[in-house]
Chains A and B, each alone.
Chain A
């Protein structure tokens, strides 16, 4: 077979595809369509028991949420499946996943989106295909979202700023490990934190570093910050893994525990130990397992047409060296 014949074959297949395509009806048969206003009251007819949990990435926080989702879905008789986009902003990967899940006709999707806007066309398509989407953690700007389980990012940022301000007595230079650039969740947290800091004339933000959940990189950035600003008074971090990097940088620089207060969101064993050691000042602890569980229950109720709260705000609380022993671990039971 000559080389050009492959091209002829390809063109022929393409033409065949176009021809065949005109004979295929648009949209899955029997799936209702309608405006987004009906997302709250719509009746759903799941075509399988598979529920997809779509995450931006892997990691401790996501693992905890998955533990909550998967255990609860299994208990409710569903078949949970996890999909990750392998990046906080990997839009193509996540939109491809959503497209494939619609094709797969899953019963429902619980979506921690990589973007509040980029996934909208795909969420709308899921709605049109009869698949309810629960937005978790990150708001999605579509009225076709069936339900929402959220954190108050603004309040989280505000509370972290409060804890740091209190620890540095309202004055001094601070640095921030803000979060991945353009990530709505962390941007909103940092916006709130900056608003809080701006109330204190003695607080000066000398560095804003944008980085993903990356402990070694956080360590290196804070080492550089310490070299440039030896008189730094406090460090804000968006996530415990980065807080650990910051605390390790302080420890490795030989700076006494507590001299540079560090605050972070979420918790893990290492973070808690650093709080006990005094290298981290406060952790804003959430309930990722309970969050996942809540999403699973909400989706189940929606699929069954039962009355349920469609917008749930999960709670977070601050813990420090004194209160860390008293963390309510009931939300972590499923792990």
Chain B
């Protein structure tokens, strides 16, 4: 007879249902899906999920303050074209730095408008999305920037095509920034204030925490992470493409929320976003390697996401925030 499960063990299982689900899914796929556990496939998996990890982490910053950032997809497209133009003219360090500074500025302005002018984040960033898309299309005409200098090409090749063993450089970059974001949110005063504003805005205000500054920081972080994600995607295709952001927004929000970042603010974090990204990537990759009908595949992805969210909600009581 099996020994009874202790209460503490059950609590641990409930609290870590996500991690257990990820391990089970990965193990199940490795056992039953041909080519899944192959080193090349693991490399693909990491390279494909790296940009989404960055986007989801960026989105987490704004979700934590009860916001949302719909500009991510549009900004990724603009950033892709801008990055290649800057890389051609000023080299890698300057180009990346300039793009990040511009992004931080755009993000801060976004947060400032939403917070100070009391604009609903959904509407504010929707407007931003239109503005950025319009600027991008006006500037590029929708045409990719394919002319790259030798320096640009070798930089993009290094980021987009180089691996350390089976770990792509792009994935290492994404993980490094995700860890930095985690430390920022959990260890630094500014990060803790983001949680404070998201959890209880009135209490945060009574403690003298500036909502405007916190929103500015959160939206800046989202924009910076978007530009980093755009850099990784640009490196994968070795060109600046104004359409690069298409479809990314839903993956970013979906992954963060799936992993347990609350749309109501103040709950979740980088690890929550990361496990959402991992879950989505594992499901999609496994299904692509099978011979399922494409529409059945979509249904399966949808059902699994829904099941994940319901499970997460049911066991939220035991989950560490």
Contact = CB atoms under 8 A, between A and B. Distances in A.
Interface residues of B, number: 55
A114 B243 CA distance: 10
A104 B40 CA distance: 10
A114 B69 CA distance: 26
Contacts of B243: 89-91, 114-115, 182
A3 interface: yes
B285 A182 contact: no
Contacts of B46: 17
Contact of A6 (B19, B137, B161, B246): B19
A92 B291 contact: no
Nearest to B172: A14
A58 B104 CA distance: 37
A24 B291 contact: no
A103 B294 contact: no
Given A81-B294, A115-B144, A117-B146, A92 B233 contact: yes
B88 interface: no
Contacts of A22: 165
Interface stretch (A93-101, A145-153, A260-268): A93-101
B130 to A, nearest CB: 14
A37 interface: no
Contact of A100 (B44, B141, B160, B271): B44
B5 interface: no
Interface in A259-282: none
Contacts of A6: 19, 271
Nearest to B144: A117
Contact of A1 (B12, B143, B293, B294): B12
Contacts of B120: none
B204 interface: no
A101 B291 CA distance: 11
Interface stretch (B89-97, B192-200, B216-224, B234-242): B234-242
Contacts of B248: 92
Given A91-B243, A103-B41, A14 B175 contact: yes
A198 to B, nearest CB: 18
A117 B239 contact: yes
Nearest to A55: B294
Nearest to A184: B143
A315 interface: no
Interface centre among A17, A18, A85 (most CB of B within 10 A): A17
B1 interface: no
Interface string B64-80: 00000000000000000
B165 A182 contact: no
A91 B244 contact: yes
Contact of A87 (B51, B141, B146, B247): B247
A100 B38 CA distance: 12
Contacts, number: 135
A50 interface: yes
Interface core residue of A90, A181, A210 (most chain B CB under 10 Å): A181
A91 B44 contact: no
A90 B51 CA distance: 14
Contacts of A83: 288, 294
B302 interface: no
B167 A18 contact: yes
B39 A20 contact: yes
B48 interface: yes
Given A99-B44, A105-B35, A121-B161, A210 B142 contact: yes
Nearest to B136: A181
30 contacts: A3-B271, A3-B320, A14-B167, A14-B172, A18-B167, A21-B39, A21-B43, A81-B291, A81-B294, A83-B294, A84-B294, A86-B247, A87-B247, A90-B243, A90-B246, A91-B246, A92-B244, A92-B248, A97-B288, A99-B47, A103-B35, A103-B40, A103-B289, A104-B35, A118-B241, A120-B237, A121-B160, A121-B161, A182-B141, A182-B243
Given A20-B39, A117-B146, 13 more contacts: A1-B16, A14-B175, A18-B165, A18-B166, A79-B291, A84-B294, A93-B247, A103-B35, A104-B288, A105-B35, A121-B236, A121-B238, A182-B143
Interface of B: 12, 16, 19, 34-35, 38-44, 46-48, 51, 137, 140-144, 146, 160-161, 163-167, 172, 175, 179, 182, 233, 236-239, 241-244, 246-248, 271, 284-285, 288-289, 291, 293-294, 320
Per CB-CB distance, the 6 closest pairs between chain A and chain B, nearest first, are A21-B165, A182-B142, A21-B166, A181-B142, A89-B243, A24-B39
